[in-house]
Amino acid sequence: MDGSGNSLAGSVGGDGSKRRVSYFYDPEVGNYYYGQGHPMKPHRMRMTHSLLVHYGLHLKMEVVEPFRARDKDLCKFHADDYVDFLKQVTPETQQEFAKVLKRFNVGEDCPVFDGLYSFCQMYTGGSVGGAVRLNTNRSDIAINWSGGLHHAKKCEASGFCYVNDIVLAILELLKQHQRVLYIDIDVHHGDGVEEAFYTTDRVMTVSFHKFGDFFPGTGDLRDVGHGKGKYYSVNVPLNEGIDDESYQRLFKPVISKVMEVYQPGAIVLQCGADSLSGDRLGCFNLSVKGHAECVRFVRSFNVPLLLVGGGGYTVRNVARCWCYETGVAVGVELENQMPYNDYYEYFGPEYTLLVPASNKENANSPEYLDSLRQQLLENISKLQHAPSVPFYERPPDMEPGEEMVLMSFEIPELLLTLCSFQEENDADARPTKPKPGVWNGEPVDSDSEGEGDVHRQRLPKQELDFISRKLPPSEEPVVKRPKFDEVSELALPDVSWVN
């Protein structure tokens, strides 16, 4: 495969063909609120939903309200005591947990807020539910814009992320697929996902991110994996100001080579919108079309695809981006002139869908990009072509509506033990000065975007009617190196059959 891949110019969906798309959305997601002045605003999902509904995209895909993930579903990756803490802590009781707040890295960046655990259950249920849709061949593409919280670790919150829905969705996909590819286009390194799968060849992680004095500080080119996972972690460290042309100069040849060599059975694409031009915490210079070109290109390979959200802190641009990329997923080119919608006033004075790049200086020289591309392609070429796994008896097919049964399918005995690097990672030694690219504790300018009374409003009835298939409620409410401060055991499920 060459850098041109399968993406055809002039067709919003890459190859122009339609896909069966499932879109996961819970009308309650916009009710959650990190706190006054915090840059993470779940209200952006409500704005995205309103926008895509008024473009008519809901008529071209299945709209599904996700199950809430249960305790035991979250514990497939996260430590029991950490999940118990998330379940019990509230703003009123957090002083009782003072001793463990620091241990679990919960505080300013990752605050305790009303409904925290329900929020985690909600966004995780969407990602795992999307994986189930792909596994049961009921969708070609599944979308969960509320997911993509890629920084969360096994035993701690990080970077506004509490539960790593991506890791849990990948574990679900591994029940049916020999190999899963994870791609991350957030401006921040996808450290939590990389760390979880750092020593296995069953999952390949590829992250394009700002590197240097920038949160979380990981994702060096030399971080390539360990043991069986060596060269299955691909890091693309970028400088600030990268534009569409420079980004695609790396993205297309790298992903083409990965697809050629690794041949994944499924792909998870994290579409963090903080890599857009003008993001309040980001420093890249991508347009909406340039960002969406990554979605279009990955879609063109016609491999089961899970799209999740992630970062994005200029919320009107996040809504624009994810609405446009939903159009890419279903194969529809959306008009730039925006239709009237519930949040129309937020998109003025232009009232247009597309966000252009700015005149920000690009600190990524052609020489740097060429050298980086050459090293990345050399590393990928060292991989064993399409590593295989043993055959196992296929489990019985799931009946429709049994997503949570499949979600809670017991994972076999331990197949993978993540390597413990002998590095000190004492929680007491956490730096007090935040890195660029993460919130510094100061109120952001977007306080008016989705806050006040509006963030507590419920969707109008006509929008609720667009939820075409509501599933029954679950039985329960439902240059730094990656640091491994303990031996983390992660069980990978046996593949059901060889595709």
Residues serving a catalytic function are: 151
Instruction: Tell the residue number behind the tokens 């994996």, with chain if given.
Output: 225
Query: What does each C-alpha distance from 81 to 75, 93, 348 come to in angstroms?
Result: 9, 17, 46
Contacting residues for 344 by C-beta, under 8 A, at least 6 apart: 338, 351
CA angle in degrees (0–180, nearest 5) for 442-323-5 = 110
What is the b/e burial string over 10-34, where b = at least 16 CB atoms within 10 angstroms of the residue's CB? eebbbeeeebebbbbbbbbbbbbbb
C-alpha to C-alpha distance for 126 and 142, rounded to whole angstroms: 9
Alpha helices, H only, 338-436: 366-381, 403-407
What would the two tokens of residue 117 be? 């655990």
Query: Does an H or E element contain 470, and which?
Result: strand 469-470
User: For the purposes of burial, counting CB atoms within 10 Å of the CB of 156, is it exposed (0-12), middle (13-18) or buried (19 or more)?
Assistant: buried
Provide the 8-state DSSP code for 286: B
Residue 307 CB coordination number (10 Å): 28
User: For the purposes of burial, counting CB atoms within 10 Å of the CB of 142, is it exposed (0-12), middle (13-18) or buried (19 or more)?
Assistant: buried
C-alpha to C-alpha distance for 220 and 200, rounded to whole angstroms: 19
Q: Find, among 319, 272, 372, the residue nearest to 43 by Cα.
A: 319
C-alpha to C-alpha distance for 234 and 225, rounded to whole angstroms: 8
